[in-house]
Amino acid sequence: IMLGKMDNSFYYKGKAFVIGNDHYDQMPDLNNAVNDAKNIHEALQTLGFMTMPLATDISIDEFTSVQRKSLNG
């Protein structure tokens, strides 16, 4: 990704919450979701987004908790 070489001044500076889950209880495991999420998280930070901490392999309860915190913060 070549985002570091672009003029980022025209991008909307929003909030981003990135989740990458490779492991699920009732589904086959994925191979690259966590790695993809890390790359997206980094790219959004480069563009100036306010990002929540990257969340990986979280349960639905953890997702709900983080989502509530992001809406209240």
Q: What is the predicted pLDDT for the residue at 11?
A: 57
Give residue for tokens 């809406």.
71
Tokens representing 64? 């709900």
Of 50, 63, 16, 54, residue with least CA distance to 35: 54
- What pLDDT, on a 0 to 100 scale, did the predictor assign at position 7? 58
Report mean pLDDT in 10-residue bins for the chain, 73 residues. 54 80 92 96 89 90 85 68
In this prediction the pTM is 0.73
Rounded Cα distance between 25 and 3, Å, is 35
